[in-house]
Chain A
């Protein structure tokens, strides 16, 4: 598994939300869509096509994997997905990157006299 996390960053909005929604628990596709809508307060909605296109990429990169079904009564078409350890490290690296960005942005906004171009 590649350890150069920087080459995977920054994550796209869809990838970030999908990894974020899987951080707490394993979910099926529809569960991921609902969780993304909840996390973004309805401002970002994933359709199934966009979701599975991104899920396929994340699975190919080893960040997400299939999880076992929760019960035998589940609809056979429903699959569960889980975050891998590598995916969790990528998500942590992205969150750290965003924290740095926010910190720097705040410090610039607090500056009393912004420099102007000469």
Chain B
């Protein structure tokens, strides 16, 4: 069982590394296993796990794939956050009740109002009261 577990850890190493050193790693495990040192076996397993991470992440550049994946997720999150936080588009706050039918538009985020004259006011701008221009 212990041997099979270590064999599995060795097998998980990158193929090139495994082909070159996997057999000898297993042989060393067998030697230490035969000596019957529990501390030695624990150290072997810890070393194999560290080696596994080191080989895949550092030596074989898998960190670049991981960095690209994390970068993609961050990018998507930023786009989503920007969409959520952007100022809302102007919308009609109230129906036009002005005598000339001027529509009142507002932007809540910018705290501004925009008055748009109705079509009849556009044709004769003088009909809009001075206070509403």
- Whether B31 and A47, one on each chain, are in contact in the complex, defined by CB atoms closer than 8 angstroms, is no
- Option from A47, A50, A52, A53 in Cβ contact (under 8 Å) with B24: A52
- Option from A49, A55, A77 in Cβ contact (under 8 Å) with B47: A49
Complex Cα gap A77–B21 (Å): 9
- Whether B29 and A77, one on each chain, are in contact in the complex, defined by CB atoms closer than 8 angstroms, is no
Binds B, one of A2-10, A25-33, A97-105: A25-33
Q: Which residues from chain B contact A79 at a C-beta distance below 8 Å?
A: 24
- Whether A47 and B48, one on each chain, are in contact in the complex, defined by CB atoms closer than 8 angstroms, is yes
State which residues 17-76 of B face A: CB under 8 Å. Answer: 17, 20-21, 23-29, 31, 43-44, 46-48, 50-52, 54-55, 59
Main secondary structure of the interface of B (DSSP, over half): helix
**In which size bucket is the chain A interface?**
10 to 19
11 residue pairs bridging A and B, Cβ less than 8 Å apart? A29-B21, A30-B28, A47-B43, A47-B47, A47-B50, A49-B47, A49-B51, A50-B47, A50-B51, A52-B17, A77-B26
Given contacts A33-B28, A50-B47, 8 further A-B contacts (CB under 8 A): A29-B25, A29-B27, A48-B29, A50-B50, A50-B51, A53-B59, A56-B20, A77-B24
A-B complex: 7 closest residue pairs judged by Cβ atoms: A49-B51, A47-B47, A77-B23, A52-B21, A77-B27, A48-B25, A49-B47
User: Which chain A residues have a beta carbon within 8 Å of chain B's beta carbons?
Assistant: 28-30, 33, 45, 47-50, 52-53, 55-56, 75-79
User: Which chain B residues have a beta carbon within 8 Å of chain A's beta carbons?
Assistant: 17, 20-21, 23-29, 31, 43-44, 46-48, 50-52, 54-55, 59
